[in-house]
Amino acid sequence: MEVRRQRTATGQACLLAAAALGLSAILFHHPLTGLAAGFALGLYLLGSPRSSAFERLRVVRLPPAHLIEDEERLLELEYALDGSWAPLGVVLRGAGPVAQLAGAAPSLAPTAAGRLPVRVRAQKRGRHERLALEVELRGALGFAARTAHYDVPTDLWVLPRPRALRDRVLEQMLALRPWGYERPQPTGPGDGDFYALRDWREGDAERRVHPRLTARRGRKVVRLFRGEAPPVVHLVVDLRSARDGRRFGRGDFDEAMRFAAGIVRTLLQRCVPVSLTLLDGGGARVACPASCKEFHVFLGELALARSQAVETAPDVPVLPTLLRQGRKVVLHLGQIDESRCPADWLAIRVGARRYYQLLDPQLAAAAVRDEADANGGGDGK
């Protein structure tokens, strides 16, 4: 561990004052100026932090956490400080590509198990087991500071931030509104069996409202029956990208993961069962089955997904047998020939017109402007 020492602005002013007083004592042979120069120099030396503090300080770990991209949270950094002397003026910084860390304390308590609040802002998608942290110790008067770098163990998950989508447009594209939904409520067995509850949306029939749950929750809740249940949606995310690194190719893979997270969130909010399949060079792998209802499980799989550069665009993948029934959505980065997709597939290329149709209106307008600027003023789709 390398310890670096640096003077602060206050310390530089103190040394300058000591030098000026010392020079005055030499020129004018006055004892008071000599005493003042010695006092200033001694104050600077006594107010400087000791390098031995870093030898006694151990950063144990940062507790495990799951954060969405750009989310900021206060976590407690665990440390251990041996001995009885405590350093003053502790500042923590971390500006790595994974996350930004910031924290400060007037002093560190000498203890075998201590905690120091640190504000963490997630940045880079994925699972990270170590973070770079810079610890700065200041003296009592802040004349000088010593810094050292630590490699902090942790289990930090940075999940993709879901994009806001037009759920009505997605519903129309997938034909999720079942036939006969506005018919009278079924009362017999079979297709009339109860399926699920969801929040009321504009256009829902009032006869489907569940009165007791509506009164308990304070908002309208409607009932769905098995004959009216939406079909399962199989979301296939293509991890293959172009080697040339063009826009919406390898360089914008994180944006594709945010869009996929937005699709999953929108479908789960509408009580639509959805599965997640990741497509890479080795074929299709079911990451989350349709029985999974936990949104963070989907986000965890998308956080671990990594792009794979390919030379040529292969054919549309063959899905496992258990994914044959239901709606199929393939999200790709331009490596799939959409004209060869089966009729029951919905192909969405990141950056294409259909992609912008599904984005929230404000996000779509901003994305179109960014695309136009990237193309030198051309019209983005």
DSSP H helices in 118-235: 167-174, 211-217
Query: Distances from the Cα of 203 to the Cαs of 93, 163, 169, 184, in angstroms?
Result: 52, 25, 15, 15
Whole-number pLDDT of residue 307: 84
pLDDT tens, residue order, the chain (381 aa): 555 556 566 666 666 777 777 777 777 777 777 777 776 666 666 666 666 777 788 889 999 999 999 999 999 999 998 877 767 778 888 877 889 999 988 878 888 888 999 999 999 999 999 999 988 887 666 566 778 888 999 999 999 999 989 888 887 888 765 444 444 444 433 345 666 777 887 767 777 788 888 888 888 888 776 555 567 899 999 888 766 555 554 447 888 999 999 999 998 887 788 999 998 877 788 899 988 989 999 999 999 998 887 766 566 667 766 677 788 898 988 778 787 787 778 889 888 888 888 887 766 666 556 555 555 544 433
Whole-number pLDDT of residue 12: 64
CA distance 7 to 10: 8
- Backbone φ and ψ for 69, nearest 5 degrees, come out as -50, 135
Q: Give exposure, 150-179, as e/b (b: 16+ Cβ within 10 Å).
A: bebebebbbbbbbbbbbbeebbebbebeee
149, exposed or middle or buried, with CB in 10 Å at 0-12, 13-18, 19+? middle
311 is written with which tokens? Answer: 């030379």
CA distance 133 to 100: 9
CA distance 64 to 109: 23
CA distance 155 to 142: 34
Whole-number pLDDT of residue 328: 87
pTM assigned to the model: 0.72
Whole-number pLDDT of residue 104: 87
CATH class of 52-159: mainly beta
Q: Is 305 left (phi over 0), alpha (psi -120 to 50) or beta?
A: beta
Domain ranges of the chain: 6-46, 52-159, 192-228, 233-374
Dihedral sign, Cα of residue 177, residue 301, residue 338, residue 256: positive
